[in-house]
Structure 1
Amino acid sequence: MKAWLFTGAHEPLVRIERETPAPGEGEVLLTVRGSGLCHSDVGRMDGTLTPYMPKKPPIVLGHEIAGVVETAGPGVTRFAPGDRVVASGTIAYCPGRDADGGYASHVLLPAACLLPLPDTVSFAQGAAATDAGQTSHSALVNAGGLEAGMKVGIIGLGGLGMTAARIAALLGAEVHAAEPRREAWDTASALGVRGVVADADGLAPLAPDLIVDFAGFGTTTAAAIRAVRPFGRVVQVGLGVARAEIDMQVLIGRNVTLRGSGGGTPADTAAVFAMMARGDLEIAASTIGFEDIPEGLDRLARGGVIGRIVAEMT
């Protein structure tokens, strides 16, 4: 098998070939067909998130995985060779963080973290759904308590933020967004966003019931706390910086709830697949080849990517 190995912060990925593993009890070997690139892997490579990795380098990164079951290990009854599946990680277990992930031709995974991929959903869309979809849905519904008719603010229209904006609109919310890159505004409008402002403080006149911050630069979190209505809720997903300051007086004085949200559950991924299967949701994504994964991560690090990048394996 071939893979891109992460050896440590500030080091480039290393192209390797090694023996393809065999699945053990409760495990499945996947042939990877789609592997999404996530900014969290940029954070691991630049040292921001490296100290928080349960499995230290060397490790194969990549936690947005879609593929085909090649071999099912002993005790696996839900999946068989040829099945189209995705890996839907959780807080407890996530490939590319707790074990080798999807920047590879093959990956070994616990069968418990797999979900069937609907025939109408492509491998690229399936891979993107496991993070951009799952994380966005969980932030809105589980952490944010979104209900139809609520006014929702989205900070950051990257891969997750753009997906969250569409999901919120599909769930009946009035959606507004803050994004400095004006090239993303038209796409957001087409997905159901009522209006976009360049700065998070521009959401304040709207007094949203809920704001989800997908940027996470500290300044954006502080602006969300100022902008949300009194007794409203701010959900923090983005991790642009590891540490930030917020105004405690504003947080307490306005009775704002601030909650962190990372990842989600297979139920969130399943809900996203249902939207996709109905034709209501398509995650904005561009595709690259396996050999282009390092360059794709460089593009994420530089900024300016609209939507997700998914490496398609052949």
Structure 2
Amino acid sequence: MEAWLFTGAHRPLERIARDTPRPGPGEVLLRVRASGLCHSDVGRMDGTLTPFMPVPPPIVLGHEVAGEIAALGDGVSGFALGARVVASGSLAFCPGRHADGGYATHCLVPVECLIPLPDTVSFAQGAAATDAGQTSHTALYKAGALQPGMKVGIIGLGGLGMTGARLAVLGGAQVWAAEPRREAWAAARAQGVTEVFADVLDMVGLELDLIVDFAGFGETTAGAIRAVRVGGRVVQVGLGRTSATISTMELVGKSVTLVGSGGGQRENTAAVIAHMARGELTIEASSIGFDDIPAGLARLEAGGVVGRIVAEF
């Protein structure tokens, strides 16, 4: 098998060849067909998130994995060789974080992480569902307690934010968004977003029940607290910066609930894939090849990417 190995912060990924592993009890070996690129891996490579890694390098990154089952370990039932699946990570276990992940031709995962991928959903969409989908769904429905009829603000229209905006619309909410990159505005409106603004402070006065910050650049968190209604809720997802200065006067004076949300569970990923299978959700994604994974991460670092980047191989 081949893989792109992360050996430490401020170092380029190293292309390696190694023996294809055999699955142990309760594990399956995936032939990876699609692996999504996530900005959090940029944060690991530039050192921002490296101290928070549950398993230190060297490790194969890539936590958005879809593929076909190539081998079954002892005790595995419910899945057959050749089955199309996604590996849905959680805070307890996630490929690319707790063990070698999807920037590789093959990947070992526990069977309890697997979710069947319908034939009508592509590997690329399945891979995107495991992070952009799962994280957005969790932020809205678990941390955000979204209900039909709510007024929701979305900060940041990258891969997660655009998906979150669509999921909020599908949940019966009226949705506004803040995104400085105007090239994303038309796509957001096509997903059902009522209006897009350049800055979160432009949403002050809308009396939003819930704001989800998928950007996380400090001032966006502070702006969300200012823009949400009295007694409203702000969910923090984005980690564009690892700290923020907020007005505790506004937080307390308005009785705002501020909640952090990262990742999710299998049921969140499954809900996203169900939307995809019904034709209600497509995560905007551009495709690259296995050889282009380092260049794709460099594009993420440079900014300006609309939607997700997914390596298909």
Question: Is the TM-score greater than 0.5?
Answer: yes
Post-superposition shift, 1:121?
A: 0.3
Post-superposition shift, 1:243?
A: 1.6
Partner of 2:18: 18
Q: TM-score with structure 1 length normalisation?
A: 0.99
Aligned pairs (5 A) from 1:148-297: 148-297=148-297
Aligned pairs (5 A) from 1:297-312: 297-312=297-312
CA distance, structure 1, for counterparts of residue 112 and residue 215 of structure 2: 31
Q: What SS does the corresponding residue of 2:230 show, helix, strand or coil?
A: coil
CA distance, structure 1, for counterparts of residue 72 and residue 234 of structure 2: 42
CA distance, structure 2, for counterparts of residue 301 and residue 205 of structure 1: 34
Partner of 1:6: 6
Q: Which consecutive aligned stretches of 4+ in structure 1 deviate over 6 angstroms post-superposition?
A: none
Q: Give unmatched runs, 5+ long, in structure 2.
A: none
CA distance, structure 1, for counterparts of residue 133 and residue 54 of structure 2: 24
Aligned pairs (5 A) from 1:54-65: 54-65=54-65
- Superposed CA RMSD in Å reads 0.5
Aligned residues: 313
Aligned pairs (5 A) from 1:55-94: 55-94=55-94
CA distance, structure 1, for counterparts of residue 81 and residue 70 of structure 2: 5
Post-superposition shift, 1:38?
A: 0.3
Post-superposition shift, 1:79?
A: 1.4
Post-superposition shift, 1:142?
A: 0.4
Post-superposition shift, 1:33?
A: 0.2
Partner of 2:105: 105
Deviations, residues 77-129 of structure 1 (Å, cap 9, x unaligned): 12121000000000111110111000000001111111111111000000000
CA distance, structure 2, for counterparts of residue 265 and residue 57 of structure 1: 25
Partner AA of 2:58 in structure 1: P
Deviations, residues 40-68 of structure 1 (Å, cap 9, x unaligned): 00000011100000110000000000000
Q: TM-score with structure 2 length normalisation?
A: 0.99
Partner AA of 1:193 in structure 2: V
Partner AA of 2:33 in structure 1: R
CA distance, structure 1, for counterparts of residue 35 and residue 85 of structure 2: 12
Post-superposition shift, 1:246?
A: 1.1
User: In the alignment, is residue 114 of structure 1 matched against residue 133 of structure 2?
Assistant: no
CA distance, structure 1, for counterparts of residue 56 and residue 236 of structure 2: 25
- Fraction of identical pairs, as percent: 70
Q: What SS does the corresponding residue of 2:86 show, helix, strand or coil?
A: strand
CA distance, structure 1, for counterparts of residue 61 and residue 272 of structure 2: 23
Deviations, residues 157-177 of structure 1 (Å, cap 9, x unaligned): 000000000010011100000
CA distance, structure 1, for counterparts of residue 158 and residue 128 of structure 2: 13
Partner AA of 1:190 in structure 2: A
Aligned pairs (5 A) from 1:136-151: 136-151=136-151
Post-superposition shift, 1:207?
A: 1.8
CA distance, structure 1, for counterparts of residue 90 and residue 294 of structure 2: 25
Partner AA of 2:88 in structure 1: S
